Structure 1
């Protein structure tokens, strides 16, 4: 999945064949549907067969995000929201951010820890500031950023996270489509949309179909 995202960031997308392919879950216990133009990638356990996915209506022209697909594959497990999948590029320029373990129990940091691996929490040097950015291993095992801030602090945080990555390295962001302000924020900082994604934690007590 990570290599596919890197390729898509370079403009090399899977063929828009209307079909779907598979990828291994990058975090144990987390599955996903990722939709690109005309092709979907199902990140599911090997015990879910291609035939079962097809029977659920999974395909590359939107079927992977039919709500019934996520409900069936999650079973009794939690389902995350549908997000736009965006990518930006590291700058290698560094920045003023510092580790802020005192912010590790905030909603943004806790949410990142529920769905991603190796979450680091960064913020501004002022201990009174509660603005934060998370940097973790997210979709496809790639670096993923989350921001909880407003105004100029948000700009400083995102530029600081981009500065921590080597120049040109891919950085992923997941943004709910209805959050237009956040979406415009990432676009303004050079992020580009690649597709959409939805995550869930399967608890399949009943057959998928």
Structure 2
């Protein structure tokens, strides 16, 4: 039986689930979360539920039902979790060129103080959290999140928005990981400014996720 981790590692290599209007049920990736992940033409439900339970609630070939409120509410009740958000999943490869990596991280310093609200939130959903800041108050946060994938988040000071600053921080995340790795970002689709920021920094949309947490 496959796992969500194996599916996500495949996506990092450009290998996606088949667009066959199908649905795959796999085990929850950890005690911390369950999720519904939507790719083009295929849905993955990663939760400790029986596939027959899922089939009873989702008509065959219906790719909208798994991410609609009736099914998500049923999954919340069954798992004892709540949907924290439905986000777009974005993915980017690390910068491999040393000069490019150095330029992208110029001015960033790793912090030992993790009291910022953005960082506190990161620790609730990720392991191995690392925090980087610059002289202007911008933050880049990386860590291991859903199914062990490398994830990032950024914090742009209000007075620095609208000038490409966020794009530079999002790009920096691509240089703060190993040169052969990839990094994910989750963005609420309604946050158009953040979505544009990550797209401009070279991240590509690969799907969406509904994350269920305690």
TM over 0.5: yes
Partner of 1:188: 200
Residues 132-155 of structure 1 deviation map (CA, whole Å, 9 limit, x = unaligned) = 111011223111001111344423
- What are the equivalent positions in structure 2 for 1:165-204 lying under 5 Å apart? 165-201=177-213
Unaligned runs of 5+ in 2: none
Partner of 2:82: 78
- How many residues are aligned here? 196
Partner of 1:55: 56
With over 3 angstroms needed to count, the CA separation of the structure-2 counterparts of 1:165 and 1:53, relative to structure 1, is same
TM-score (norm 1): 0.83
The answer on whether the counterparts of 1:132 and 1:157 sit within 8 Å (CA) in structure 2 is yes
1:119 and 2:119 correspond:
no
With over 3 angstroms needed to count, the CA separation of the structure-2 counterparts of 1:139 and 1:192, relative to structure 1, is same
With over 3 angstroms needed to count, the CA separation of the structure-2 counterparts of 1:71 and 1:107, relative to structure 1, is farther
Secondary structure of the corresponding residue to residue 79 of structure 1: strand
Looking at structure 1, the residues matched to 173 and 208 of structure 2 have their Cα atoms a distance apart, in angstroms, of: 22
Partner of 1:69: 71
Looking at structure 2, the residues matched to 152 and 38 of structure 1 have their Cα atoms a distance apart, in angstroms, of: 34
Q: Which of 156, 167, 178 lines up with 2:168 in the alignment?
A: 156
Residues 25-63 of structure 1 deviation map (CA, whole Å, 9 limit, x = unaligned) = 333221000000111111102xx1011112222766122
The answer on whether the counterparts of 1:33 and 1:65 sit within 8 Å (CA) in structure 2 is yes
